[in-house]
Each structure stands twice: as structure tokens, then as C-alpha cells.
Amino acid sequence: MLIKSQANNCLVFVNLLTWSRMHETAIVQDMFRIIDQVAEENQLKRIDRVNFVIGKMMQVVPDLFYFAFDAAKEGTIAENSEVKLEFLPIKMKCKSCGKEFLIDNNVFYCPACQNTDLDLIQGKELLIKSIEGE
């Protein structure tokens, strides 16, 4: 069985078996537990927008995230809400020379000394930045 969704102005068809195993689906389901809790704590009757901050190392595919969110929000107080995704670049620090730098093209070595012994500073975030509603 196939389902379709208008995600980020792209028509997406996904096999239901594949959809149930998508990384983005699990993330959205976990996020909805938080969204529901925040809505209840703040006595929101509807949610208009949810803003996320996602590190690029989380490897979230935007169209799949939008699709999963559209599916998860049906029948909830977030049913008519919009989603905004903000992606943070991968930032590393070299353990050898101390240089901080952004990762380009999945090349994980220090541009100053070519060392591969690195510390992750930024890039694994998965946060709800804000929830807008009434």
C-alpha cells in the first residue's frame, strides 16, 4: 500500500512498510510526545507552528521529516501546524592543534594539521526550539 503527502512542495509517495522504519518517523513520534506534553502544560488549544533545530550529523532528510510530521499531526491539536527546520553545521575541534572548524563534504580531518583525532562541538542537536499556538 502506498500513501502520499505534500511535503515541502514535493509530492512524496512512500511504501507504508518503508515509512514505518524511517529514521525521521521515529524522531517525529518522539517529538510529538514532547509537543503534547508542552501543549498540555501550557493549556494550548491548537498549535500553529513547531520550530526544530537539527544538527547535520543526525542525517535528517527534510522532505521525509515533513512527510512524517504531516502523518503524525493528523487528528491532533497540531493538525494545521507548520514546521520549520533549522539545520546546524557539523563543528569539530582538533585534539592535536586545537583548531575549530566546520565539516564540508563529510571530510573529517583537521584542515590545519590533517589530524583525524577530533572532538565534536556541534552537529548532533535534535531540539524543539519553540512551539507556537494558542
Domain count, the chain: 1
CATH of the domain at 78: 3.30.2320.50
Residue 72: CA count within 13 A, CB half-sphere? 23
Tell me the β-bridge partners of 101: 92
pTM of this structure? 0.78
In a domain, 49, yes or no: yes
- Taking the C-alpha atoms of residue 26 and residue 19, their distance in angstroms, rounded to an integer, is 10
Is the pLDDT reported for residue 108 higher than 90? yes
The residue range of the domain holding 35 is: 2-89+124-133
In a domain, 100, yes or no: no
- Taking the C-alpha atoms of residue 42 and residue 130, their distance in angstroms, rounded to an integer, is 13
In a domain, 10, yes or no: yes
pLDDT for 7-56, tens place per residue? Answer: 444 444 444 444 445 689 999 999 999 999 999 999 999 999 999 999 99
Largest Cα–Cα separation, the chain:
55
- For residue 17, the model assigns a pLDDT of 42
Residues 98-113 have a mean pLDDT of 94
- For residue 104, the model assigns a pLDDT of 87
In a domain, 110, yes or no: no
